[in-house]
Amino acid sequence: MLSTLLVVLVAAIHVYILILEMFLWDTPFGRKAFNLSPVFSRDTKVLAANQGLYNGFLAAGLLFGVWLGSEGLQFKLFFLICVMVAGIYGAVTSSRKILYVQTIPALLATIALLYT
């Protein structure tokens, strides 16, 4: 139960990131969330939307694994590992905040999956 809750939480985080990157990137809310200037957000809007789509795929994979129940363990583990790798890369190349927002929740969900 805890592992399912944590996997759904990670999926929800990535749906939220999808919304921020695909639809709110070039808005005051999106600029504040990512600490962007209006010029930068305008110029990178299409790139951010593409990035958001990938976050949506991560969420979809996690939710598909949850939907499969115990048969979805491999799906959940695969997509959680993808989230952790992306989070580590983002923390190293962009913002340490990504480590806390993406990687740690995915790590906790992975641990819960492996030990329940």
Task: Give the C-alpha distances (Å, rounded to integers) separating 32 from 24, 26, 36, 94.
Answer: 10, 10, 7, 16
What local confidence, expressed as pLDDT, does residue 116 receive? 80
DSSP assignment letter at 101: I
Residue 88: both structure tokens together: 């580590």
What local confidence, expressed as pLDDT, does residue 79 receive? 98
Q: What is the distance between the alpha carbons of residues 28 and 9, in angstroms, rounded to a whole number?
A: 26
* Residue type present at position 109: A
Closest CA to 79 of 114, 100, 49, 110: 110
Instruction: Name the one residue in this structure whose structure tokens are 């959940």.
Output: 76
What local confidence, expressed as pLDDT, does residue 4 receive? 96
pLDDT along the chain (116 residues), means of 10: 96 97 96 94 96 96 96 96 96 93 97 92
What local confidence, expressed as pLDDT, does residue 16 receive? 97
What local confidence, expressed as pLDDT, does residue 73 receive? 95
